[in-house]
């Protein structure tokens, strides 16, 4: 498919002109630059940060206070 030929057949005046029929001051004369998404998190999803997991830190601190004996009994330290 030739996009340039299709747009000129629909009335586009060519490169450097907007898609508006009569005025170049209305619309975009240059294409939008779009960057390619490099991760697979989804649109709008940010990278997961472990520093925000306050509940995991609290859980780890409470587990550090426990000790298991050789018999499998839980002993509070």
Domain extent at residue 67: 3-76
pTM for the predicted model, two decimal places: 0.35
- Find the helix or strand (DSSP H, E) in which 76 lies: strand 74-76
Task: Tell me how many domains the chain contains.
Answer: 1
How far apart, in whole angstroms, are the C-alpha atoms of residue 69 and residue 58?
23
- pLDDT tens-digit map of 18-69: 888 788 888 887 888 888 878 777 777 777 666 667 777 888 888 777 766 6
What is the chain's Cα-based Rg? 30
Q: Which segments of the chain does DSSP mark as H helices, in order?
A: 3-9, 54-64
Whether 20 and 13 have beta carbons less than 8 Å apart is answered as no
Residue-wise pLDDT for 2-14, tens only, equals 989 998 888 888 8
């Amino acid at each position: 498919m030739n996009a340039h030929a299709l747009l000129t057949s629909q009335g586009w005046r060519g490169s450097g002109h907007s898609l508006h029929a009569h005025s170049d001051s209305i619309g975009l004369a240059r294409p939008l630059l779009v960057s390619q998404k490099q991760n697979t998190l989804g649109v709008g999803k940010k990278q997961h940060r472990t520093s925000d997991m306050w509940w995991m830190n609290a859980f780890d601190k409470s587990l550090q206070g426990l000790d298991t004996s050789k018999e499998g009994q839980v002993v509070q330290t």
